[in-house]
Amino acid sequence: MPCVTTYSGKSIELSSPDPDLIDINDIAHQLSLINRFNGATVEPYSVAQHSVIVSNIVNPEFALLGLLHDAAEAYVGDIVHPVKEGIRDFFWEFERPCLSVIFDKYGVGHNPAGLWCVETADMQARATEFRDLFKTPQQHEHLPEPLAYKIEPVGNWKAKRMFLNRFHELTEGRFNYE
């Protein structure tokens, strides 16, 4: 079975991850080092920072789901949207078990209304990222209006701290982290 090694040295089996090995510190660290858009932005912009933004714009009852919506990418990586669409079924074989275990471990649940709400916020964040983070602003007709404020990349270490602080806030300290 395919396994990946985490920042803390754990070995995660992608098709059947052990919930006891899933660690929010690994997730935050690894997402903070994964650049969105395959690194095509002017400055590095991490999945961790994107996740914090989504958690802040989504309905508050779904904020933790928003924060963790891309958490499986800590284990399977981030693939640019057009490629991911082309290999969705194959990629989903690895992403789905990881995401399911993460959601269950941290009490997020699989609420269809929450998933729809997060998808909408994710698309709004993406529209804002296309506007703010590329050398030439990108426009995509299928995306909603961007956010009113400008996104400024914060760097990897700060993105990790932001992610962990937001996680702590949303879980009210129920889980340990660095």
Hunting for tokens 């690994």 — which residue is that? 26
- Higher confidence at residue 8 or residue 178? 8
Within 8 A by CB and 6+ apart from 173, the residues are none
Nearest to 69 by CA among 43, 89, 35, 99: 99
Mean pLDDT for 146-154 is: 97
Q: 140: pLDDT confidence band, cut at 50, 70 and 90?
A: confident
Sketch out the chain's domains with CATH numbers: 15-170 (1.10.3210.10)
Q: Residue 50 belongs to what H/E stretch?
A: helix 47-57
Q: To which residue do tokens 């609420």 refer?
A: 111
Confidence label for 55 from pLDDT (cuts 50, 70 and 90): very high
Task: Please provide residue 5's backbone torsions phi and psi, each rounded to the nearest 5 degrees.
Answer: -100, 135
pLDDT, mean over the chain = 91
Output the CA–CA distances (angstroms, integers) from residue 105 to 55, 70, 92, in the order listed: 18, 15, 19
Nearest Cα to Cα of residue 162 among 90, 69, 72, 55 = 55
Could you give the angle at the alpha carbon of 170 between the alpha carbons of 47 and 27, nearest 5°?
35
Backbone region of residue 145 per phi and psi (left: phi > 0; alpha: psi in -120 to 50; beta: other values): beta
Across the range 90-96, mean pLDDT stands at 72
